[in-house]
Structure 1
Amino acid sequence: MVTTVGALKGNISEYRFRSRSEHTLDSKGRLNIPTRFREVLREVYTETLVVTNWEKCLRAYPVSEWEELEEKLLGQGQMEPGFGDFVRYVISGVTECTLDKQGRILVPATLRSEFEIDKDVVLNGMLHHFEIWDKTAWIEQTRKTRNRFPDFNSGLSSLGIL
């Protein structure tokens, strides 16, 4: 589907989840999805997301991207020793969330609680999916990454970026 839409709508690379934005959950746990992310969903995918727990944040995948990840877990993942624990953890948090008419999703209370997502959140684009972070956790993670930036030089160099 991605190739077809890309061919019809122009360069597919313009339809990726990029950048970050800060948001506030309402009292019911609804999260406004940024317009630029909704545009990616409308142009390339559907308005349904699969949200699940990850390491330090929630991840939100368009359904087709999530299905690709599941296939990898079913196929290649079974070959990895001890990988069942990872699969159990990630699959246990899976919730399908459809955008409402205002462009919001309801983040399940169980996931909000597990990641201490109370009110202030950061949405961070990761090209084919996006992350939902508690704002305080995001600030801490960003600080740690910034301090490790020299560690990325070898990888960036091998990709021809440096």
Structure 2
Amino acid sequence: MVRFLGEYEVTLDAKGRFLLPSGFKKQLPEAELRFIVNRGFEKCLTLYPANSWEPIHAKISELNDFDPKVRAFRRQFLGGATEVEADSAGRLLLPPTLRDFAGLTKNVILVAAVDKIEIWDADTYKKIFEEFSPEAFSNLAKEVMVKPDATNE
């Protein structure tokens, strides 16, 4: 299983391609340059190595088609999912509809997100940190990382 670390700024060319940074390439299994790019939960894209995508897709495939919430989720989650593979120069092409969804311009930041990579417009990503105080981050960390003590309930 891939476990990404790091954050890299890259540039999109006129066709919407970017070069996968060597820092991320080194973290991939050898010769794994096939990915699924998808809309993120926020206004970003998510780049899944194929081996990280397959269990997610398998789980979604098992959901009940008769549940309208399942259909809505699949539509949102799978609708833009596109397989991309690095070209001979090591570049990945982002489809125009996905670039538009995430508001990607020329400057993009690739962010490790455990077993996937988030792709953000650089200005949008930087604003997240400008608007998130250290105190708010500390409170969020406490909320998601610290389990409540069962004896104090």
TM interval, short-chain normalised: 0.7 to 0.9
1:103 matched to 2:121: no
Q: Is the 8 A contact 1:121 1:135 kept in 2?
A: yes
1:129 aligns with 2:116: yes
1:67-98 Cα offsets, whole Å, 9 max, x none, are 11112222357697623212101211111111
How far is 1:64 from its partner?
A: 1.6
Structure 1 counterpart of 2:146, one-letter code: S
Match of 2:8 among 21, 25, 36: 21
Which amino acid in 2 is paired with 1:90? F
How far apart are residue 27 of structure 1 and its match? Answer: 1.1
Aligned mates of 2:64, 2:47 — CA distance in 1: 20
Partner of 2:144: 155
What is the total number of aligned residue pairs between the two structures? 145
Cα deviation for residue 23 of structure 1 reads 0.9
Task: Output aligned runs, 1:82-93, within 5 Å.
Answer: 82-93=69-80
Equivalent position to 1:54, from 40, 46, 54: 40
1:11 matched residue in structure 2: none
Contact 1:38 1:103 in 2 (8 A): no
- Kindly indicate whether the alpha-carbon contact (under 8 Å) linking 1:50 and 1:60 is maintained by their aligned counterparts in 2: yes
Structure 1 residues 50-59 or 146-155, which shifts more?
Answer: 146-155
Q: TM-score, normalized by length of structure 2? A: 0.82
SS at match of 1:31: strand
Going from structure 1 to structure 2, the CA distance change for 1:88 and 1:145 (only over 3 Å counts) comes to farther
More displaced, 93-102 or 142-151?
A: 142-151
Compare 145-154 and 127-136 and name the one that shifted more.
Answer: 145-154
Q: What is the CA–CA distance in structure 2 between the aligned matches of 1:47 and 1:37, rounded to whole Å?
A: 11
**CA separation in 1, counterparts of 2:52 and 2:66?**
21
The residue number in structure 2 matching 1:120 is: 107
SS in 1 for 2:77: helix
Partner of 2:151: none
* Letter matched to residue 65 of structure 1: S
Q: Secondary structure at the match of 2:103?
A: coil
Q: CA deviation at 1:36?
A: 1.8
Q: Which runs of 5+ in 1 are unaligned?
A: 3-14
Distance 1:146 1:98, change over 3 A: farther
Identity %: 30
SS for the counterpart of 1:23 is strand
**Equivalent residue of 1:112, what SS?**
helix
